[in-house]
Amino acid sequence: MSEVKKLKFFAGGKWHESKALKYMDIYNPSTGSVIARTPCCTEGEVKSAIKSAADAFPSWANTPAMKRVQVLYKFRELLDKHLDELTELVCRENGKVWEEAKGDVLKAKEATELACGIPSLLMGESLMNASSGFDTVLYKEPVGVFAGIAPFNFPAMIPMGWMMPLCIATGNTLVLKAASMTPMTAMRCAELLQESGLPDGVVNIVTCSRSEAELFLKHPDVKGVTFVGSTSIGMHIYATAAANGKRVQALCEAKNHALVLEDAPLERTARGIINAAFGCAGERCMALPVVVVQKSIADKLVELLVKFAGELKVGPAYDKASELGPVVTENHRQFVLSKIEKGIAEGAKLVLDGRSAIVKGFENGFYLKPTIFDQVTPEMTIGSEEIFGPVLCIKRVSDFEEGLQIMNNNKFANGSVIFTQSGYFSREFANRTHGGMVGINVGIPVPIGSFPFTGHKNSFFGDLHALGKDGIRFFTETKAVTSRWFDDADMKQQKVDTWDGTMVRSPAYPNIQLGDLTGS
């Protein structure tokens, strides 16, 4: 049996063998076998990556924006060229089925395309004669070194889409803590960035434990942290990094709900729910794990959901016929199973049991079939806590108002969805829901990358979201430059007032009456 590959960390444009005493196993979820081991980098190695980013920052920040994006144009081209290779890599380390994995890579490409527009998006604002003889220009400038702390569930889209492109396009440098369960896709993308001509030290990649990652929250050279993961860790990162003077965006857990009204087209609605609930094996913060349905149509909707979910083909991720792949690790499979057991114990009605899932030829894979609970009530944790697996809960309500109240009682607010043909209820829902991303007959209401990923409540901590104009503002700081050029009279001026001529509150035209200004 061949030796399992030991991965390295990437700093200063070079791959380094780690001196770590501990290496973490990376599994192929489809087979259950270990395919690589990644280092739990030492504190010194994490510091060396931060230093590489700090050393690279001055030169990269002074590189013209048009030249910076040439690297990203080339990177985009290489993402296309290596699309199948990267798709297979996501399948192998994460467990997404082929089309989901391809979408993971293509979303990274989408964010890269947004970043390629930075020469226009970074343009500031100006006002000539802001005060008499004074001109003001507002610039957007890079901030410095950012740390990106990525989760396991989207190995391409999050580190190489949400984090990297806007960060470096705006002139910053990045130290990425790749997810220890799924780091290989990001590492391969780092090689493609090198091939694209990215200068050494602009992007660096480590894998480490939470202990070493604390450095990112306190190190004086790190100016900001972008994080995707659990709410408990997100709150800690937000509090700690902010206390150390850093800007933070922390995208956290969710328990998205959909409200299904009795006028919704049931079959099309049910198919949309199946995709949203069980796509990516439920391992996404914009999954749809809860459906709130009017009692008058609940039986029929549940019948359709059970039927369609039961038809999904469970299989290995890289088999293009598979529709539902495995979850990421055996530990996570056991976590999801424990949540299903909790739902049974709480009294929810198990109408589709996905606990026993064995795929012929892949018996050691981390598989679960779709699970559906009906009659879930508000006090049941199965319907309020994030499970991150292929589990769907049904809550029954009498009407729109009851359904909206149940949804808004949720402590998370990433997304919320309504299925209806009513324009009135659609508008009411969009206006009154707490969800930050709202779908009207759209099961996964994630907007394209030119809009921000706008989670609310305990799903997000910070002020500026990922992507869109928020993302650009997060990775830049503004500088206002006011200038004045002296004429002969100015040079002879004997006294400079307190405001040095910038105060414009006094009447500009003292000899002109109000009527002269209004034309009356």
> Does some domain include residue 427?
yes
Query: Percent of the chain scored above 90 by pLDDT?
Result: 92
| Entry pTM | 0.95
The least confident of 103-112, 320-329, 347-356, 507-516 is 507-516
Q: Which domain holds residue 25?
A: 5-252+464-477
Rg for the chain, CA atoms, rounded: 26
- 3-state SS class at 482: strand
268 and 133, same structural domain? no
Among residues 167, 280, 285, 393, the one annotated as catalytic is: 285
Is residue 518 in some structural domain?
Answer: no
Ramachandran angles phi, psi of 516, nearest 5°: -65, -30
- The answer to whether the CB of 418 falls within 8 A of the CB of 373 is no
Grade residue 495 by pLDDT with cuts at 50, 70 and 90.
confident
Runs of H (alpha helix) within 122-230? 157, 164-169, 184-195, 210-218
- pLDDT category of residue 468 using cuts at 50, 70 and 90: very high
Q: pLDDT of 372-382, one tens digit each?
A: 999 999 999 99
Per-residue pLDDT band at 508 (split at 50, 70, 90): low
Q: Taking residues 288-314, report their average pLDDT.
A: 98
H/E segment holding residue 69: helix 65-81
Structure token pair of residue 141: 């400038």
d(CA 356, CA 365): 12
Instruction: Name the amino acid, one letter, at 399.
Output: D
Q: Looking at the domain assignment, is residue 298 inside a domain? A: yes
Regarding whether 201 and 57 lie in a shared domain, the answer is: yes
Mapped onto helix, strand or coil, the DSSP state of residue 342 is: helix
Provide mean pLDDT across the span 433-439: 98
Q: Taking a C-beta distance cutoff of 8 angstroms, is the pair 377, 402 a contact?
A: no
What pLDDT does residue 494 have? 86
pLDDT band at 515 (very low <50, low <70, confident <90, very high): very low
Query: Residue 411: what pLDDT?
Result: 97
pLDDT on residue 511: 54
CATH number at residue 115: 3.40.605.10
Query: Which CATH number do you get for residue 381?
Result: 3.40.309.10
pLDDT of 78: 98
Q: What is the DSSP string of 246-309?
A: -EEEEE-----EEEE-TTS-HHHHHHHHHHHHHGGGG-STT---EEEEEHHHHHHHHHHHHHHH
- The reported pLDDT for the residue numbered 520 is 42
Contact 107/161 with Cβ under 8 angstroms?
Answer: yes
Query: In terms of DSSP bridges, do strands 391-397 and 371-374 run parallel, antiparallel, or are they unpaired?
Result: parallel
Helix/strand/coil for 14: strand
Q: Do 7 and 36 form a contact (C-beta atoms < 8 A)?
A: yes
The reply to whether 267 and 144 lie within a common domain is: no
336 pLDDT more than 50: yes
124 and 157 together in one domain: yes
Is 433 part of a structural domain of the chain?
Answer: yes
pLDDT classification of 266: cutoffs 50, 70, 90: very high
Examine the domain organization and report whether 289 and 386 are in the same domain: yes
Q: What pLDDT, on the 0 to 100 scale, is given for residue 516?
A: 46
Q: Which residues contact 409 (CB under 8 A, 6 or more apart)?
A: 378
Which residues are CB-contacts of 460 (< 8 A; sequence separation ≥ 6)? 249, 250, 251, 252, 414, 436, 454
Q: Which helix (H) or strand (E) holds 55?
A: helix 43-61
Q: How many folded domains does the chain comprise?
A: 2
Which amino acid is present at 261? L
Give CA 95 to chain center in angstroms.
19
Residue 181 located in a structural domain: yes
What residues contact residue 499 under an 8 Å CB cut-off, 6+ apart?
none
**Residue 512 in this model has a pLDDT that exceeds 90:** no
Residues 316-320 have a mean pLDDT of 96
Q: Do residue 238 and residue 270 come from a single domain? A: no
Q: What pLDDT, on the 0 to 100 scale, is given for residue 509?
A: 55
What is the Cα–Cα distance from 253 to 386, expressed in whole angstroms? Answer: 7
d(CA 410, CA 435): 10
Task: State the Cα–Cα distance between residues 260 and 404, nearest whole angstrom.
Answer: 11
Quote the CA–CA distance of 223 and 474 in Å, as a whole number: 11
Residue 458 lies in a domain: no
Average pLDDT over residues 480-509: 80
Contact 8, 15 (CB under 8 A): yes
Taking only the tens place, the pLDDT of each residue in 37-75 is: 999 999 999 999 999 999 999 999 999 999 999 999 999
Do 221 and 343 have their domain in common?
no
Please give the full DSSP string across 372-434, using - where no structure is assigned. Answer: EEES--TT-GGGTS---SSEEEEEEESSHHHHHHHHHT-SEESEEEEE-S-HHHHHHHHHH--
* 406 and 264 within one domain: yes
Give me the mean pLDDT over the 329-334 stretch. Answer: 98
Residue 143 pLDDT grade (very low, low, confident, very high; cuts 50, 70, 90):
very high
CA distance 86 to 320: 15
Same domain? 264 vs 140: no
Confidence of residue 518 (pLDDT cuts 50, 70, 90): very low
Q: Which of 180, 150, 110 is nearest to 446 (CA)?
A: 110
Q: What's the pLDDT at 514?
A: 43
pLDDT value at position 375?
98
Q: Mean per-residue pLDDT for 289-314?
A: 98
Same domain, 140 and 230: yes
Structural domain contains residue 455: no
235 and 213 share a domain? yes
The DSSP secondary-structure symbol of 231 reads: H
The answer to whether residues 162 and 204 belong to one domain is yes
31: tokens are 């087979």
How much of the chain, in percent, has pLDDT values that exceed 70?
Answer: 96
Last residue of a domain, one of 415, 450, 485: 450
Answer yes or no: is 42 within a domain.
Answer: yes
pLDDT in tens, 146-191: 999 999 999 999 999 999 999 999 999 999 999 999 999 999 999 9
**Is 252 a known active-site residue?**
no
